[in-house]
Structure formats: structure tokens, C-alpha cells
Amino acid sequence: MNPCPTELNFASHLAALNAPRAAKLAYIDDSRRITYGELAERVARCAGALRQLGLRREERVLLLMHDSVDWPVAFLGALHAGIVPVAVNTLLTPEDYAYIASHCRARAALVSGELLGTLQTALGKGPHEIEHIIVSRPTGVLPAGSLDFEQWLADAPLAPAVRTLSDEIAFWLYSSGSTGKPKGVVHTHGNLWHTVELYAKPVLGIREDDIVFSAAKLFFAYGLGNGLSFPLAVGATVVVMSERPTPQAVFKRLTEHRPTVFYGVPTLYASMLASPDLPAREQVALRICTSAGEALPRDIGERFTRHFGCEILDGIGSTEMLHIFLSNQPGSLRYGTTGKPVPGYEVQLRDEDGRIVAANTIGDLYIKGPSTALMYWNNRDKTRQCFQGEWLKSGDKYLCDADGYYTYAGRSDDMIKVSGQYVSPVEVENVLVQHEAVLEAAVIGVPDHDGLIKTKAYVVLRPGFQPNADTGEALQQYVKQHLAPFKYPRQINFTEDLPKTATGKIQRFRLRQLESSEISRGIA
């Protein structure tokens, strides 16, 4: 691999790579298709439009957009101009967006029409510096002062790319924190380049004639590589969709557009295999799939490969590392493991004293590699905890067998990963105890029948409330109303008390032990 260029604007780098294939399809969504030539022009116009708003180099623009052909235009347009896009999860609450808008100090926001109301609610909740709102695909009459994305582009000049450095701040993503407050993860232009050169090309083997489709959305680090930096680095065609990745929605794209590369998550693979509408092998064109976000159960991987005849490369990445750094590889795959370190990355398992552990011993996972984020924005303590010299402490527990294959063993803290997204137990517990029926609550992660982790709440009720199905459903709905929907507890277990320390702290690990013993006895 050649070294990363010192001077690198990743947007203009992609434009130069794809200049010879201007007529080839770059993106397909539900209502529009754009070629590489059209993409390059729209990116340059977006850069010009951002400049016309008065945004300067390194200032932030908020991206709250559903996946469509407009998303890469907005993201790459900002990079092209030396402006920093802050891509955020479309599934969060107005309270989350209010915090993020204030924290990142974005001066403008690019938002999907369907999310405009949510953004407006968020901006009414606290201080922010957003002066301009540009709306992609408006659903009605635009409020005063906002701009239509298409007209905004049409009125803008083609801007030349800003000459940025590979180590220069390019974009931010937000990662959930144990306190429930999202953390601003700061990435460079070079980080995008390295994930392409270390994973996409040598491990995934992505190529120009591929059609790719990612169930993970572009605002995720995983989805950003899957649906933007990887395919555009080789001139592949990308299928994107704005709707939730249900099995039916995925089947529709797999059979209509016949992608050759599919990026999923374990929960989705399990749902696909359980669906009566699962397409036959002959109806799709898959040659390789990937999985990340949480550990892929062995049974799901094996059943998928038997049905479709292609492997799922299970791996682990993180927002901080930008994409997958530990992965199974074609031809040497072992379902039930996360594979081996991607060449170019180093991995260590350490005990609590920082010593490297022996084979088949659980340890804390540390990673060293060239795609590591610079920091958590305005969060020095958390930055120092996680970014330790050249190494990143992942917060995951792993073990490594004698053959060098790594197997996931859980989170180092109490964070729970559900459908590829972290859930803070404390955040869910704090909402539950606000309900009039709840005295105390503790939330843990438990495996379902497919081996996938779901949230379970242990609840102590106040006198006068009945521990029945109606109460459980009411509590689930209450959490859904106050937090992002994926955070609600899938199971409610009513109990008379919770295990605690002498100082009154809830001992979640004892609940996990109880759950494990019940599962082993076949009663959970």
C-alpha cells in the first residue's frame, strides 16, 4: 500500500478517481438516479452554496438527513469546501438534537423534509448557532428563512476544492456515551482514505463492477464506509433507501437492483432468515456480505450461507476507528468469531493492570491503527480514558484462541449494544423511574432465541400497581415516548427488590448472572 498523501481532500480525491466514468451510475434511491458526473457537479455546487452562506473552513454544518442521493452530495460538498459535516442519527429525540446542535456549534443544517419538524422542535429547546436551514425534499410549504436544497444547489456556483491536509479535521460523527450524552467523534480526511485501503480493497475486495447496498444508514461509521467511501473509491454503484431496513424492504432492493455486496447487521440477518418472504438464491446476485454492530451468532451465519451460497464477513468496527479493524476474511471464515486483525491494524487484549493476557483468556480490547479519531470534541476526560497514546481502548471484552481468532465476550462497562446501537442502562432506568408506577429499575442486555442482545428491565413497582402485562406494556410505551425507540426494554420483569451494594448501588452484574443461570437451566 502506498502511503496516504500529506495533502488530501477526500471529496476531490474521489472526484478525480471517477472523472473517467462520468456516465456511470453512482447512486440509486427510490425516486432518483445520479451518475458520477452529476455527483461531481452537485458536490461542487454544494460546496459553493455553503460558501455563499458565509460558512468558513473548519466550521460545522449539521447533516440530519435520510439516505438518498442528496446525502453524499451534502457530505462530500462540505468536505470539498473544507467545511466539516456533522452527520447525525435520524432516530434520535429532539432533546438529543438540541444537545448536538449546541455542542458542535453548527452554523447551518441540512435536513430531510420529513425531519424538519423534529429539528425545529430541537432548536426551540436551547441555545444554538444555526443560522441557515436547507431542506432536502420538502414535504410541504417551507417555513420562512429556510431554503429548498434543489434550488439552493441550482443557484450556486461550482466551487474549487479546498486544499486540505490528510490530518485535517474532515467530519464528525456522534457516538452514544454511558451517561446518555452523545460524544462528538472527530475524524480526518486521511481516516477515510485508510479504511478504503486497509479494509475495503484487500479484505472486502470491492470492485468497480459491484452494486452495493447497505442496511446500515450513512450516518453510522459502518454505513458511511459501506455506502460512500468504499464504493466511490472504486467506482461502484450504490443503492440507498430512506425507509427502515425491514426484511421486506431489504428483499425488495436485493431482488430489484440485484446488488453483489450487501452490508447488514445480525438482527437483520436473523429477521431475514425468519421471514416467509425470503427470496431464493436465484433471485439475488450476492457474492459477499458483511456484518458488524454486534456479534453474529454462528447459526445465523451458517444458515445464511447455506441458503444464499455466499459468506458473511463478520467483523467489529467502531465510531472511533471509523470502520472494521477486526474481521473474518474470505476463505478463512469462522462463524461465531470476529476473525483476525485487519492488516494495518494491531490488536491487544489486556487485563485490568494493562498486561497482555494469555490465549483463551478474556481481556479488554485495545486497537492501534491509522483510522483512529483525533478526539471526543470538548470532552478531555473521556478522550484521555479512551485514546491512550497510539492505542484506543474499545470498551469491549474479547478472547483470542490459539489460532488467532477473536471472540466477543461483552462490554467492559454496562453499555448494551442492541441492533448495532449502544443503549445506556442508566438512561433507560432514569426514564422508567419517572413513571408513576415504578419505584426502582435496572436494565441489562439478554440474548433472545437467535442469540442477539435485547434490553430487559427489572422493575420494582410502587404499592397499588399490579405486575401484569398491561403495566409492562405501559412502561414500554412510556420509554418509547421519552427516548429513541430502539432503546425501550423488550422485556419487563417485575421483582420485589434489586441486588445492591452496601452503599445502595444497583448491581447489574448480579442480574446478568441470574439471567445466565436461568438460561442454562432453560427457564429464561
Alpha helices in 124-213 (DSSP H): 149-154, 189-195
- Residue 415 has a pLDDT of 75
Q: In this model, does residue 276 exceed pLDDT 60?
A: yes
Q: Which amino acid is at 321?
A: M
Cell 497510539 found at: 390
pLDDT of residue 443: 93
What is the pLDDT at residue 418?
Answer: 83
CATH number of 10-399: 3.40.50.12780
For the chain, domain boundaries:
10-399, 422-523
Average pLDDT over residues 180-192: 93
Query: Dihedral of CA 396/400/405/408: which sign?
Result: negative
Tell me the percentage of the chain whose pLDDT exceeds 90.
Answer: 80
- Mean pLDDT estimate for the chain: 94
DSSP state at residue 21: G
* Residue, of 294 and 21, whose pLDDT is higher: 21
Position 452 confidence tier, pLDDT thresholds 50, 70, 90: confident
Quote the CA–CA distance of 142 and 36 in Å, as a whole number. 30
- The two most distant CA atoms of the chain are separated, in Å, by 72
Note the pLDDT of residue 424. Answer: 78
In this prediction, residues 455-477 reach a mean pLDDT of 95
Q: What is the pLDDT of residues 368-390, one digit of tens each?
A: 999 999 999 999 999 999 999 99
Q: Which residue's C-alpha cell is 451465519?
A: 301
314-318, 466-470, 514-518: least confident range: 514-518
Query: What letters, b where the CB count within 10 A reaches 16 and e where it falls short, cover 441-465?
Result: bbbbbbeeebbbbbbbbbbbbeeeb
Distances (CA, A) of 181 to 98, 176, 376: 11, 6, 12
pTM recorded for the entire structure: 0.85
Write the pLDDT tens digit of every residue in 131-151: 999 999 999 999 998 999 999
422-523: CATH topology is GMP Synthetase; Chain A, domain 3 (3.30.300)
CA distances (Å), 473 to each of 186, 390, 430, 493, in order?
A: 39, 47, 17, 11
Inform me whether the pLDDT recorded for 420 exceeds 90. Answer: no
Query: What are the pLDDT digits (tens) for 78-135?
Result: 999 999 999 999 999 999 999 999 999 999 999 999 999 999 999 999 999 999 999 9
Helices and strands, number each (H, E), in the chain:
16, 27
pLDDT of residue 451: 85
First to last CA, the chain: 50
Name, in order, each residue with C-beta under 8 angstroms of 224's C-beta and a sequence gap of 6 or more. Answer: 75, 87, 173, 218, 322, 323
Range 199-234 burial, b when 16+ CB lie within 10 A, else e: bbbebbebeeebbbbbbbbbbbbbbbbbbbbbbbbb
95-104, 198-207, 499-508, 512-521: least confidently modelled range: 499-508
Mean pLDDT confidence for 364-370: 97
Per-residue model confidence (pLDDT) at position 177:
52
How does residue 272 score in pLDDT terms, banded at 50, 70 and 90?
very high
Give every CB contact of residue 280 below 8 A, 6+ residues apart in sequence. Answer: none
C-alpha cell at 260: 453483489
Distance CA 483, CA 8 (A): 39
Burial of 67 (0-12, 13-18, 19+ CB in 10 A): buried
For residue 497, what are the CA distances in angstroms to 12, 81, 438, 506? 60, 57, 12, 10
The whole-number pLDDT of residue 181 equals: 82
The mean per-residue pLDDT over the stretch 458-471 comes to 95
Q: What is the pLDDT of residue 364?
A: 93
- Structure confidence at residue 178 (pLDDT): 44
Q: What is the mean pLDDT of residues 242-250?
A: 96
Edge-to-edge strands, sheet with 438-447: 438-447, 453-461, 491-494
pLDDT at 217 exceeding the cut of 60 = yes
Query: What are the tens digits of pLDDT across the range 40-79?
Result: 999 999 999 999 999 999 999 999 999 999 999 999 999 9
Look at residue 515 and tell me whether its pLDDT is greater than 90: no
d(CA 195, CA 180): 28
Q: Percentage of the chain with pLDDT > 70? A: 97
Tell me: pLDDT of 19 over 80: yes
Q: What count of other Cβ atoms lies within 10 Å of the Cβ of residue 412?
A: 15
Q: Output 497 or 229, whichever has higher pLDDT.
A: 229
Retrieve residue 193's grid coordinates.
Answer: 482514505
Reading phi first (left if > 0) and then psi (alpha if -120 to 50, else beta), residue 374 is in alpha
